[in-house]
Structure 1
Amino acid sequence: MNQRTEPTAPTTAQETSPAPPETPDPPSRLAVLGLLLGIILATLDGTIVGTALPTIVGDLGGLGHFSWVVTAYLLTAAVSTPIWGKIGDLYGRKGSYLTSITVFLVGSVLCGLAQNMEQLIAFRALQGLGAGGLFVGAMSLMGTLLTPAQAGRSQSMIGVMLPVAMIGGPLLGGFLTDHLDWRWVFYVNVPVGAVALLLVGLLVRLRGERSTARIDCAGAALLTAGILALTLLGTWGGTTYDWLSPQIGGLALLAAASLAAFARVERRAPEPVVPPRLFRDRNFTLAQVLTFLAGAAMMGAASYLPQYMQFVRGMSSTESGLLLLPLMLGMMGAQLYIGRAVGKGGGYRAYPIAGGAVATVGALALLTVDVGTATAVPSALTFVLGAGLGCLMQPSLLITMNSAELRDMGAASGTNALLRTIGGSLGVAVLGSVYTGRLTDTLTEHLGRNGDRLAGGELTPALLNDLPEPARDAFRAGVTGGLHGVMTGTAVLCVLALATAWLIREVPLRTEREPAVPAD
């Protein structure tokens, strides 16, 4: 059980003390909407650019820098997430959140004005820097304004937005590119962000002093190095470089060394970026493991199921996205139900246990999909997987907010968002390596040396139809085998999530906005 200290009167901030607790006024629905809009911006912009990239490259050139338009955004967003959280804890969560929206909007406008690929990559990095504070800022403010018992419905809406943006982003990006201009993929953020700034700036009220403590620069630098190495490892591993190459080995060594040094520094820092005291709470630690595993499983499935839909079933990019709607609906339904049930006083421990079991069944069910399977069958089966993942993700958010003291709400939110990002990145990388290996083995078995050329990643669904029938059949069999490998890996992740969920203890959710415990 969590051991909570009785509330004490606020004291004057010292040089190494965190900010005294910010006293919240109860938020209006419009204020909560402003927080949710920030999460929409952060999540949507990670996926909306994908369908516009071919047009962008055709307009600006720089095909060799193609992938860095996405990678630069993900890198800076991941690196800045925990730092934004800690800045909010120390100097004010509302001000930190509004600043991150402003940085994000400035980056969005500059991206729309970019005249070459180098400018676009630089401005995407700036945009990602702001995006890192959007999710964590909204979550930490929600954790301050609402008790965990009250926040169930609001947090379930957050869970709904993640899959909506994941799948709806590419559809919106394609629509804007086709009917307006690719620059509107970035300009569309401005009115949404302006509304969020207005609602939060006017309607969210927090009263409290500000700390004079300094952020842990050494810890931030080591964490940045570790996250950069992990993100590049996930981006380059198995694609740009072989998994056993010196480059990938060096990145793995850098990541391990940086994160080990980061852990040592955090134990001694007066105000650590990720306070070690958070992980003394058993439920908090287990919730982060669940977040990591669910993020890896979700991103792996969402990334490689469209490959099967397009290459094997002959669907277009838009159609393959629509066929993943059951996955999204399953996640949405589960998270909305859990949010309402917990908000009415229900327990939460049973949901991640059920989620791990259901998601495992959903992943294993997709192993029955074959080359000749009707298109509706794999589309429908994704609903089961989505429902299970929704039952894993929603409770992990609730447990994270309930396990952290209010003084650490930003750091806790940042840690949760960071682990979901890293889990998704590594999940796509590792499961992608399995997919590529299965595809290559099948093509080599059927076509010999010609199979290696087909597995090189340059074949599109349109070009597949121009190949001889034996090559088409071999490639479709390879894609199906690759999907089976990805689903097997996803099932393993879900079994690990099920085992983790069994260890969670049912700790009652807070029902009052109690002040934070004073600094140690």
Structure 2
Amino acid sequence: MHHDEHEHEHASAGHDKGAPSGMVGFDSHTQATAGGYFTSGRFIGSMLAIGFSIASGAGTFSLPAAILSSIDADIGPDKNIVWVSYMGVLGLAVGLPLVARLSDIFGRRWYYLGGNFFMLVGAIVCATAKSVPTLVGGTVILSVASGAAFSFSFLINEIVPMKYRFIGTASGYLFALPTSGFGAAVAISLAAKSPGGWRWVYYLMMILDGIALFFFYFFYHPPTFKMKQGERSKLQMLKDLDFVGMFLFSVGIVIFLLGLSWGGVTEPWKSAGVIAPIVLGVATLAAFVAWEIYWPLKQPMVPKHLFNDRDWVVAALLLAFAASIYYALAIVWPQAVVALYAEGHGTHALLSAASTIPYLGGQITGGLLCKQIGRLKWQCFTIALVGGTLLACLATTGPHDMPTALGLLISGVFCMGWMESITQTLVGICVRNQKEIGTAVGMAGSVRSVISTIASTIYIIVLDNRLKKTLPGAVVPAVERAGLPASSIPALMAALATNSESAYDAVKGLTPQILSVAQNAYKEGSSRAYSTVFLVTLAVSGLSVVLSLIAPNVDHLMTNHVAVMLQHQKKDEGPKKEGELSELQA
């Protein structure tokens, strides 16, 4: 392929001497960075810029999600409040691959300054919103711009030696801990105790964005356009850009994900309002694939060789499957807590966090220990097998087995977090041309978003269908035996769904004894439905186990090579000559 040959030829001009076989696109070897590069202000400042950026980006989704009802009560009510959640997923699915690909071509600095600036603008719009439509508009700006924040793994990994990349990814997750792992607790606390109420969630993002902007502006100086492209002009590169591919990809993924999000929530699954966008989205994405494969493109949205690389494809799918289990359980587990275990709002919040905080703990731990343990293929196999088995065993627990359920859940999602952390790094290691690391990681992020949304949809459909059968199957016989009139059963089922005292008072013939029987039966029926959902994890974890067997081992790639050297210079320069690298030391 002409484009790929050109890219590899250009990349080979980099400092690739001694690089792992088959890999190109390195700027340096750490021997060339002796003299304080990794303790310099530009390196530490850049790491802080990326860290504060992902701290804000992670909060874009987790912070508002925990307090949507409070926000709606203040500036609503408005049924469109659900778009705050929808836009968070959609914007990132489009923003991440676009900013990654464009910054691979034109240079990173101004894309990431711009991305964090617009994150700040989006946070300001949301913080000052006096209506739900304004809040949704601000969320659109935030979520698209957050593609810059969620580029953290390759922004860190390209400026550290290959052997430290897993640790680099873990450092990014560490920055996200307060706003992601503890996001719900932080948001609820800010909404309840701060003078501005829920608006302080967005004030916090503004503060983090401001700090990130400061460090990006003063310390983050990656290679410029001229350093990356030599004598080629920006105008020529713009003419060669794949605008059609970008349009087809963006429109297709947005329409498809919207259709999935609407199904069973705002519209019935059989309605045209759900089927039409799903079909149209799939057709548009199919047109995108055909365009990328068959049209002679100089700068394609996705280089064809990426999807021909088995190692990258396997890593991207493992990343997506691990995230799928996380997102599905993040939706299903809090519902299970309410139905089976929680007796109060405080208990509910604490138990619900059991599906999120251990996952982030696994991400950090996996990144820190991956290289030390080695044998990445067998790490993936082991954690997929153990984690999947533990989560499937949740199907054996019931309303009276909360300690067992928590132990299985915490251990299982910890394993899946470990899997996501190492595969998030792996998709950047597997790309043969390290000058395309942004494109590789960005596209893997889109694959992750699509597969995670599909998996979450499947979980919700299975749960809803099972509840329609298991709840009446458990409650109706129990209350009939207890003496409740048959005519009162529909009203009782509705009251159990809301767990409202006023609804219970309206049920004719309902005594405290019958209510107790009904509530216990309702928990048993719910438990049967959730058991089925937990068994569904076997499908995803089973695929992960199989894929792990063909995952790459990358021990031989854990070298001292660095893909990108941060610069002192702020002005455009020509391509670096091999001898000039030593001049870039602190």
TM-score range, shorter chain: 0.7 to 0.9
Query: Could you report, residue by residue, the CA deviation over 1:151-190 in whole angstroms, capped at 9, with x for unpaired residues?
Result: 2112123345667644422221111111121111111111
Residue in 2 aligned with 1:509?
557
Aligned counterpart in structure 2 of residue 101 of structure 1, from 116, 122, 126: 116
2:260–2:278 Cα contact (<8 Å) kept = no
User: Matches of residues 189-208 of structure 1 in structure 2 within 5 Å?
Assistant: 189-208=205-224
Query: Distance in 1 between the 2:113 and 2:454 partners?
Result: 30
Supply the AA of the counterpart residue of 2:144: L
Supply the AA of the counterpart residue of 1:97: Y
Query: Distance in 2 between the 1:225 and 1:93 partners?
Result: 24
Is 1:298 aligned to 2:302, yes or no? Answer: no
1:82–1:274 Cα contact (<8 Å) kept = no
Residue in 1 aligned with 2:288?
262
Aligned counterpart in structure 1 of residue 244 of structure 2, from 218, 237, 246: 218
Query: Could you report, residue by residue, the CA deviation over 1:458-505 in whole angstroms, capped at 9, with x for unpaired residues?
Result: 944566994733442343233322321221111211111111111112
Residue in 2 aligned with 1:232?
258
User: Matches of residues 12-31 of structure 1 in structure 2 within 5 Å?
Assistant: 26=38, 28-31=43-46
Moved more, 337-346 or 236-245: 337-346
**Structure 1 pair 123–33 and aligned structure 2 pair: CA distance change class (3 A):** same
Compute the displacement of 1:246 (Å).
3.0
Residue in 1 aligned with 2:571?
none
Residue in 2 aligned with 1:14?
none
Residue in 2 aligned with 1:128?
143
Aligned counterpart in structure 2 of residue 489 of structure 1, from 515, 528, 536: 536
Aligned counterpart in structure 2 of residue 170 of structure 1, from 168, 173, 184: 184
Residue in 2 aligned with 1:276?
304
Query: Distance in 2 between the 1:109 and 1:287 partners?
Result: 37
User: Matches of residues 105-504 of structure 1 in structure 2 within 5 Å?
Assistant: 105-136=120-151, 138-159=152-173, 165-180=179-194, 181-210=197-226, 212=234, 213-214=237-238, 215-267=241-293, 268=295, 269-328=297-356, 330-344=358-372, 346-373=374-401, 375-404=402-431, 405-445=433-473, 446-447=475-476, 459-460=497-498, 466=504, 468-504=515-551
Could you say what secondary structure the match of 1:47 adopts? helix
Query: Could you report, residue by residue, the CA deviation over 1:68-89 in whole angstroms, capped at 9, with x for unpaired residues?
Result: 1221232222222211111211
**Structure 1 pair 391–120 and aligned structure 2 pair: CA distance change class (3 A):** closer
Larger radius of gyration: 2
2:59–2:205 Cα contact (<8 Å) kept = no
Supply the AA of the counterpart residue of 1:177: A
Percent identity, aligned pairs only? Answer: 20
Aligned counterpart in structure 1 of residue 13 of structure 2, from 4, 9, 13: 9
Moved more, 125-134 or 336-345: 336-345
Query: Distance in 2 between the 1:410 and 1:334 partners?
Result: 24
Query: Could you report, residue by residue, the CA deviation over 1:272-305 in whole angstroms, capped at 9, with x for unpaired residues?
Result: 2222221222110001111111111111112211
Compute the displacement of 1:223 (Å).
0.9
Query: Could you report, residue by residue, the CA deviation over 1:423-477 in whole angstroms, capped at 9, with x for unpaired residues?
Result: 3322222101111111111223334998888888994456699473344234323
User: Matches of residues 23-102 of structure 1 in structure 2 within 5 Å?
Assistant: 26=38, 28-102=43-117
Compute the displacement of 1:241 (Å).
2.7
Compute the displacement of 1:109 (Å).
0.6
**Structure 1 pair 461–205 and aligned structure 2 pair: CA distance change class (3 A):** farther
**Structure 1 pair 302–317 and aligned structure 2 pair: CA distance change class (3 A):** farther
Supply the AA of the counterpart residue of 1:184: W
Query: Could you report, residue by residue, the CA deviation over 1:315-351 in whole angstroms, capped at 9, with x for unpaired residues?
Result: 4444334225554454345444433334448331111
Query: Distance in 2 between the 1:72 and 1:340 partners?
Result: 32
Query: Could you report, residue by residue, the CA deviation over 1:346-397 in whole angstroms, capped at 9, with x for unpaired residues?
Result: 3311111011101111112211111222x32212211221232023212212
Could you say what secondary structure the match of 1:323 adopts? helix
1:167–1:324 Cα contact (<8 Å) kept = no
1:143–1:409 Cα contact (<8 Å) kept = no
**Structure 1 pair 311–337 and aligned structure 2 pair: CA distance change class (3 A):** closer
**Structure 1 pair 10–364 and aligned structure 2 pair: CA distance change class (3 A):** closer
Moved more, 415-424 or 213-222: 415-424
Could you say what secondary structure the match of 1:139 adopts? helix
**Structure 1 pair 140–464 and aligned structure 2 pair: CA distance change class (3 A):** farther
Q: Where do 5+ consecutive residues of structure 1 fail to align?
A: 12-19
Query: Could you report, residue by residue, the CA deviation over 1:32-72 in whole angstroms, capped at 9, with x for unpaired residues?
Result: 23212222222222021123222221221242212112212
Query: Distance in 1 between the 2:488 and 2:382 partners?
Result: 46
Query: Distance in 1 between the 2:160 and 2:550 partners?
Result: 27
Q: Where do 5+ consecutive residues of structure 2 fail to align?
A: 16-24, 477-485, 506-514, 566-574, 576-586
Moved more, 504-513 or 113-122: 504-513
TM-score (norm 2): 0.79
Query: Distance in 2 between the 1:163 and 1:426 partners?
Result: 26
2:358–2:411 Cα contact (<8 Å) kept = yes
**Structure 1 pair 163–203 and aligned structure 2 pair: CA distance change class (3 A):** closer
Query: Distance in 2 between the 1:415 and 1:62 partners?
Result: 37
Supply the AA of the counterpart residue of 1:40: A
1:339–1:394 Cα contact (<8 Å) kept = yes
2:166–2:368 Cα contact (<8 Å) kept = yes
1:107–1:124 Cα contact (<8 Å) kept = yes
Query: Distance in 2 between the 1:431 and 1:449 partners?
Result: 33
1:443–1:452 Cα contact (<8 Å) kept = no
2:63–2:201 Cα contact (<8 Å) kept = yes
Compute the displacement of 1:515 (Å).
7.4
The CA RMSD over aligned residues, in Å, is: 3.1
1:297–1:493 Cα contact (<8 Å) kept = yes
Query: Distance in 2 between the 1:264 and 1:455 partners?
Result: 51
